[in-house]
C-alpha cells in the first residue's frame, strides 16, 4: 500500500448533518436552460435560515460540492416554462421581485435566465421520500417560493413528509441476464472439482 501522511487526512464521519425541512433563503449560483424540454435547472446554496438553530447550514451545499471534488452538485430545483406551468414560473418571478433583488421586476423579465445568478429568494423546503438503488431515501424539495422577508419572519408552514407510494414502485428486474433452469447442464459428483 502507498504510504500516506495520516496527520494530513481528515477522517470521514458516518454522515454529515443535512439541512432539515424549513424556511431558507437560497442564493442562486447557476442556471441551466433545457430548451428542448422547456425548463430551467437552477442551482443554489443556503444564504440564510428562518430558524437560528439551522445557521450551521449556511453555505452547506457549496461546502459539500467542494468536499466531493465537484462530484456532488449544488442543491437544485426545476422551473418549467411550458404553457401549462407559466403561472408557477410567474410565482417564482414574483418571489424574486419581493425578495429585494435590486431592479428586478417580474413583469419585465425578458427571458435572460442568467440574470438570476446572484439573486436570493425565500423558499420553504419540505422532505420527500424516493427510491434509489432499491433503497428508500429522503431528500429536500422546494415546496413553496416566497419573499426573503416571509422566511425571516417565520411566516410559513413546513409541509408534511411527502411519502412514496410503495405499491406504485415497480419491482426491480433481476440484474443478471442469465436464465436459470434452462439449458444449464447438470453436473454429477465426479464432475465437481472440489
Q: Specify the pLDDT at position 185.
A: 43
Write down the domain spans for the chain: 21-169
CA 123 – CA 22 distance, rounded (Å): 8
Q: What is the pLDDT of residue 173?
A: 46
| Residues 162-187 pLDDT 10s | 998 877 776 654 444 443 344 444 44
CB atoms within 10 A of CB 194: 2
User: What's the Cα-to-Cα distance from 27 to each of 23, 44, 56, 58, 192, rounded to whole Å?
Assistant: 13, 5, 16, 10, 65
Query: pTM for the complete prediction?
Result: 0.78
pLDDT along the chain (194 residues), means of 10: 69 70 98 98 98 96 93 96 96 97 96 97 96 90 97 96 82 45 45 46
The pLDDT, as a whole number, for residue 48 is 97
List of residues 6+ apart from 149 with CB closer than 8 A:
98, 99, 100, 122
Note the Cα 136 to chain centre separation in Å.
16
pLDDT at 17: 84
Distance (Å, rounded) from C-alpha 21 to C-alpha 140? 7
For 74-93, how does the pLDDT look when each residue is reduced to its tens digit (9 = 90+)?
999 999 999 999 999 999 99
User: Which residues, in sequence order, are CB contacts of 88 under 8 Å at separation 6+?
Assistant: 79, 80
Amino acid at each position: 500500500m502507498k504510504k500516506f501522511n495520516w496527520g494530513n487526512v481528515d477522517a470521514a464521519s458516518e454522515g454529515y448533518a443535512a439541512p432539515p425541512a424549513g424556511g431558507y433563503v437560497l442564493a442562486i449560483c447557476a442556471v441551466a436552460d433545457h430548451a428542448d424540454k422547456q425548463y430551467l435547472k437552477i442551482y443554489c446554496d443556503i444564504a440564510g435560515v428562518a430558524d437560528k438553530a439551522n445557521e450551521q447550514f449556511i453555505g452547506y451545499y457549496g461546502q459539500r460540492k467542494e468536499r466531493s471534488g465537484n462530484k456532488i452538485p449544488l442543491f437544485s430545483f426545476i422551473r418549467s416554462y411550458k404553457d401549462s406551468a407559466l403561472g408557477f414560473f410567474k410565482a417564482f418571478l414574483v418571489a424574486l421581485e419581493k425578495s429585494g433583488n435590486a431592479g428586478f421586476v417580474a413583469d419585465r423579465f425578458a427571458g435572460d435566465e442568467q440574470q438570476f445568478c446572484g439573486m436570493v429568494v425565500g423558499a420553504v423546503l419540505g422532505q420527500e421520500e424516493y427510491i434509489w438503488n432499491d433503497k428508500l431515501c429522503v431528500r429536500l424539495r422546494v415546496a413553496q417560493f416566497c419573499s426573503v422577508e416571509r422566511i425571516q419572519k417565520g411566516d410559513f408552514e413546513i409541509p408534511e413528509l411527502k411519502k412514496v407510494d410503495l405499491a406504485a414502485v415497480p419491482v426491480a428486474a433481476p440484474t443478471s441476464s442469465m436464465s436459470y433452469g434452462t439449458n444449464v447442464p447438470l453436473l454429477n459428483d465426479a464432475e465437481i472439482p472440489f
